[in-house]
Structure 1
Amino acid sequence: MEQQRSFGSHTTGTLYLVPTPIGNLDDMTFRAVEILKTADLIAAEDTRHTQMLLNHFAITTKTISFHEHNTQMRIPELLTKLEAGQTIAQVSDAGMPSISDPGKELVHAAIERGVPVVPLPGANAATTALIASGLSPQPFLFYGFLPRKTGERQRILAKLATEPATLLFYESPHRVGKTLAAMLEAFGDRQAVLARELTKKFETFIRGTITELQTYAENELKGEFVIMVAGAPDKPVVKSAAPFKDQVAAIVATGAKPNAAIKLVAKQNGVAKQVVYDAYHDLDRA
């Protein structure tokens, strides 16, 4: 066990984790500006992007690149500076460092070396979207970006299908439609919300069922998205498994393949594909 006292006398420098605005520069805190001004060095995900922020607040502190492609090379260099007594502020392009952005490896390495790690509160897209979503804010489960490979994405969503907490994901605009389709198959047609361009001029919330959001996603989309999905209900919506089995059997009798029939019945009843699959094959997963 180890205990860190963030403030006081230390033999090393301090690693500050500094959140930056997710869109609106007015969301930068006074404390964040002060830390960036007084730090010896700023480790930035993209130094060019961060420099625009620094220029806006008249911050002249030197920057060094620290991103997912140079993490292992940079960590020893940054640790040497910290152990020599320098203060380093780490920032990502937007929001909280380490949350779907670089940072966790440096934090772990600093802790291992006994370097104090001090987090600053600030902007975060997931929680900002959640409190205005209309979905239950407690409990919630933040996943971040889903895997891009179809099989891995389906495996993760299948695990989350019975999670009662509100589910939060990040997604890029060109993948929102595919992700919603995968969620519909795994979760059934639950209530969900899309949040885009948070804190910016065109901030938008789209609330409805997953199917309705799919219709919206057929348009050309811009901006980063937060996808929020209602958690699994306490009791399954299914009245009994028998009707599902009968519905699938009736469709199969017309010449359709079982998997296609299962998918269709799941969509028609607004339930997860796995529920119908289990019913058709008489599987009890309880």
Structure 2
Amino acid sequence: MLPMIARRLLALLPLMLLVSLGVFMLTGLVPGDPAVTIAGGPDASPDRIAAVRESLNLDSPLIVRYAEWLGDAVRLDFGQSLYGTTGGPSVVDDIVMRMPVTFSLALTALCIALVIGLPLGTIAGMRAGTALDRVSVAGTSLGIALPNFWIGLILIQLLAVKAGWFPAVGYTHFTESPSAWLKSLILPGMALGLFAAASIARQLRASLIDVLQSNYVRTAWAKGGSPARVVGKHALKNAAMPTVTVIALQLGTLLGGAVIIEQIFSLPGMGTYLITALLKQDIPAIQGVALMFVLIYVVINLAVDIVYGYINPKVRVS
């Protein structure tokens, strides 16, 4: 396992270098001039704009600014927020402050997706072609088609405004009240997790149908194996390989989808921070959050490779 992990880590170095270059270059496409905005807008004097531009090092060549930024980013130092959007001393402190909110939301959504998607996919795969299977396929197709922000608005109207079961907006920290913390995450977690549940169910159903048609599974049935033993011990293990990939990709999608959901439910997470930074043209904050999202996604893929190595020994030597 260790050689495989070492190979994966070495392969990540050029990838992260290219990603950091892309993040740094793309932030230059943000409309407007941050120096003009910080200096006071279009009415700012040229001297004031020039002073701000010099303080932000915007007069240096692009390659020089990238090299300096990359040297700091390697140490997870993304600089200071241009506007002090949270009063934090640095962008990293702002991100660390909001990261638990975004991770709590993503993990809640993932748990909801697993609770719904795994049983639904397993039942549909075992009952392929039946009425239950057709209903599950229709349901998962609907779950994939509906946008999560629309689902969030419907959930707020039905379960928060009318039923009053959950708060419509806001976030309660776990240390203040664990029950209130969980309630504040249920609706956004459902809005974010239904798409992931549908994707997991469809992938597991397709994989399980293929595996159940394998010769070794037919042999297990012929020997009189019970459904729990044949499906649980033999079929699901092999059907889980592509499903693990989908689950990992969905976790990255959930983190990205949290940007909109956090806005709808007024959650103080990384997504809200990123949108605020975009609206204010806070370049260091935009670069820091974008690179942090990419870093998290890369770590998730590395974890998937490690899980593959445990599930399938052939991956360790590939």
Give the structure with the larger helix fraction.
2
Structure having greater relative contact order (Cα 8 Å, sep ≥ 6)? 2
Give the structure with the larger strand fraction.
1
Classify the TM-score, shorter chain. Answer: under 0.3
What TM-score does the superposition give when structure 2 sets the normalisation length?
A: 0.20
What TM-score does the superposition give when structure 1 sets the normalisation length?
A: 0.22
